[in-house]
Amino acid sequence: MNENYLNELNPVQRSAVMQTDGPVMIIAGAGSGKTRVLTYRIAHLLNHGVSAFSILALTFTNKAAREMKERIHHIVGSTESANLWMGTFHSVFARILRFEAEKLGYPSNFTIYDTDDSKSLIKTILNEMGLDDKIYKPSLVLNRISGAKNNLISAQQYLSMREITEEDRLSGKPKLGLVYQAYETRCFKASAMDFDDLLFKTNVLFKNYPEVLYKYQDKFRFIMVDEYQDTNFSQYLIVKKLAARHLNICVVGDDAQSIYAFRGANIQNILNFERDYPELKMFKLEQNYRSTKTIVEAANAVISKNKAQLRKVVWTDNNPGERIKVMLTASDNEEGAMVANQIFEQRMQNQMPYKDFAVLYRTNAQSRALEESLRKRSIPYRIYGGLSFYKRKEIKDLLAYFRLTINPNDEEALKRVINYPARGIGKTTLEKIIVAADEKGVSIWNLISALQEYDVVKGAAVRKIVDFVNMIRSFRHNLESTDAFVLAMNIAKSSGLLKELNADKTPEGISRYENIQALLNGIQEFVETKPESEDEVQERTLDVYVRDIALLTDADEDDEKDAEKVSLMTIHAAKGLEFKSVFVVGLEENLFPSQLSLNSVEELEEERRLFYVAITRAEKHLVLSHAETRYRWGQITHAEPSRFIQEIDQSLLEYNEPPAKKGFLDFSDDFDSYAGFKKRPAASAFQAKAEQSGSYTRRGTSESPATAAAQKKEISNFIPDNLNNLQSGMEVIHEKFGKGKVLQIDGRNSERKATVFFQEVGQKQLLLKFAKLKIIG
What Rg value do the Cα atoms of the chain yield, rounded? 29
152 binds DNA (CB under 7 A): no
Strands 762-767 and 753-758: antiparallel
**Residue 391 C-beta: closest distance to DNA, Å:** 9
Tell me how far apart the alpha carbons of residues 192 and 111 are, in angstroms, rounded to a whole number: 4
439 exposure class (CB count in 10 Å sphere: 0-12, 13-18, 19+):
exposed
Q: Is 257 a catalytic residue?
A: yes
Interface with DNA (CB under 7 A), residue from 8, 48, 167, 262: 262
Q: Which amino acid is at 655?
A: Y
- CA separation (Å) from 268 to 64, 271, 309, 606? 24, 5, 11, 14
- CA 590 to chain CA centroid, Å, is 19
Q: Which of 128, 152, 280 is nearest to 208 (CA)?
A: 152
**Site stretch for DNA (CB under 7 A), options 21-29, 345-353, 566-574, 614-622:** 566-574
Task: Say which of 175, 201, 617, 662 is annotated catalytic.
Answer: 617
**Residue 362 C-beta: closest distance to DNA, Å:** 7
Q: What is the DSSP string of 74-116?
A: HHH-SGGGGGSEEEEHHHHHHHHHHHHGGGGT--TTPEEE-HH
**Site stretch for DNA (CB under 7 A), options 171-179, 316-324, 515-523, 565-573:** 565-573
**Residue 363 C-beta: closest distance to DNA, Å:** 4
**Site stretch for DNA (CB under 7 A), options 260-268, 522-530, 558-566, 757-765:** 260-268
Nearer Cβ to DNA (501/569): 569
**Residue 506 C-beta: closest distance to DNA, Å:** 12
Give a three-class secondary structure readout of 194-208. Answer: EHHHHHHHHHHHHHH
Task: Say which of 184, 196, 197, 226 is annotated catalytic.
Answer: 226
**Residue 326 C-beta: closest distance to DNA, Å:** 22
**Site stretch for DNA (CB under 7 A), options 336-344, 476-484, 551-559, 763-771:** 551-559
> For residue 84, how many other CB atoms are within 10 A of its CB?
23
Question: Mask: binding to DNA, 620-659, rule CB under 7 A, as x and -?
Answer: -----------xxxx-------------------------
**Residue 276 C-beta: closest distance to DNA, Å:** 24
- Residue 435, CA atoms < 13 Å, CB-side half-sphere: 14
Footprint of DNA on residues 389-408 (CB under 7 A)?
393
Interface with DNA (CB under 7 A), residue from 39, 83, 91, 341: 91
**Site stretch for DNA (CB under 7 A), options 309-317, 344-352, 415-423, 738-746:** 415-423
551 binds DNA (CB under 7 A): yes
Tell me how far apart the alpha carbons of residues 542 and 522 are, in angstroms, rounded to a whole number: 12
Nearer Cβ to DNA (28/551): 551
Task: Say which of 13, 14, 34, 111 is annotated catalytic.
Answer: 34
**Residue 761 C-beta: closest distance to DNA, Å:** 24
Q: Is 226 a catalytic residue?
A: yes
- CA 37 to chain CA centroid, Å, is 26
- Residue 591 neighbours by CB under 8 Å, 6+ apart: 362, 363, 366, 630, 632, 639, 642
**Site stretch for DNA (CB under 7 A), options 203-211, 406-414, 550-558, 746-754:** 550-558
Tell me how far apart the alpha carbons of residues 66 and 195 are, in angstroms, rounded to a whole number: 21
- CA 58 to chain CA centroid, Å, is 19
Interface with DNA (CB under 7 A), residue from 316, 570, 629, 673: 570
Tell me how far apart the alpha carbons of residues 331 and 593 are, in angstroms, rounded to a whole number: 18
**Residue 135 C-beta: closest distance to DNA, Å:** 11
Nearer Cβ to DNA (572/638): 572
- CA separation (Å) from 140 to 324, 325, 334, 404, 606? 39, 39, 35, 28, 20
682 exposure class (CB count in 10 Å sphere: 0-12, 13-18, 19+):
exposed
Question: Mask: binding to DNA, 175-214, rule CB under 7 A, as x and -?
Answer: --------------------xx------------------
What is the 8-class DSSP label of residue 641?
Answer: B
Interface with DNA (CB under 7 A), residue from 77, 353, 380, 424: 424
Interface with DNA (CB under 7 A), residue from 14, 36, 41, 90: 90
What is the 8-class DSSP label of residue 265?
Answer: B
What's the CA angle centered on 278, arms 41 and 314, to 5 degrees? 55
* Phi-psi category of residue 496: left, alpha or beta, with phi > 0 → left and psi -120 to 50 → alpha: left
**Site stretch for DNA (CB under 7 A), options 221-229, 256-264, 330-338, 659-667:** 256-264
**Residue 340 C-beta: closest distance to DNA, Å:** 19
Footprint of DNA on residues 425-454 (CB under 7 A)?
425-429
Tell me how far apart the alpha carbons of residues 315 and 72 are, in angstroms, rounded to a whole number: 28
Tell me how far apart the alpha carbons of residues 717 and 737 are, in angstroms, rounded to a whole number: 23
**Distance in Å from the first CA to the final CA of the chain:** 90
Q: Which of 115, 266, 269 is nearest to 197 (CA)?
A: 115
**Residue 698 C-beta: closest distance to DNA, Å:** 34
Nearer Cβ to DNA (30/461): 461
**Site stretch for DNA (CB under 7 A), options 82-90, 219-227, 402-410, 490-498:** 82-90
Footprint of DNA on residues 593-622 (CB under 7 A)?
594, 596-597, 603, 610
Nearer Cβ to DNA (1/422): 422
Task: Say which of 114, 194, 227, 394 is annotated catalytic.
Answer: 227
**Residue 437 C-beta: closest distance to DNA, Å:** 16
**Residue 295 C-beta: closest distance to DNA, Å:** 23
Tell me how far apart the alpha carbons of residues 551 and 530 are, in angstroms, rounded to a whole number: 21
Nearer Cβ to DNA (46/433): 433
Nearer Cβ to DNA (205/369): 369
Q: Which of 62, 117, 118, 55 is nearest to 91 (CA)?
A: 62
123 binds DNA (CB under 7 A): yes
Q: Is 35 a catalytic residue?
A: yes
Interface with DNA (CB under 7 A), residue from 66, 95, 98, 137: 137
Nearer Cβ to DNA (60/381): 60
Tell me how far apart the alpha carbons of residues 521 and 527 are, in angstroms, rounded to a whole number: 10
Q: Is 227 a catalytic residue?
A: yes
Footprint of DNA on residues 463-522 (CB under 7 A)?
none
413 binds DNA (CB under 7 A): no
Question: Mask: binding to DNA, 223-252, rule CB under 7 A, as x and -?
Answer: ------------------------------
What's the CA angle centered on 13, arms 10 and 17, to 5 degrees? 130
CB-CB contact of 323 with 649 (8 Å)? no
The residues with which 655 forms a beta bridge, in sequence order, are 326, 678
**Residue 260 C-beta: closest distance to DNA, Å:** 7
CB-CB contact of 285 with 24 (8 Å)? no
61 binds DNA (CB under 7 A): yes
Number of residues that bind DNA (CB under 7 A): 49
Interface with DNA (CB under 7 A), residue from 20, 115, 306, 533: 115
Which positions are catalytic?
Answer: 34-35, 226-227, 257, 617
**Which residues here bind DNA, judged by CB under 7 A?**
60-61, 88-91, 114-115, 123, 137, 139, 195-196, 259-260, 262-263, 362-365, 385, 393, 419, 422-429, 461, 551, 553, 555, 569-570, 572-573, 594, 596-597, 603, 610, 631-634
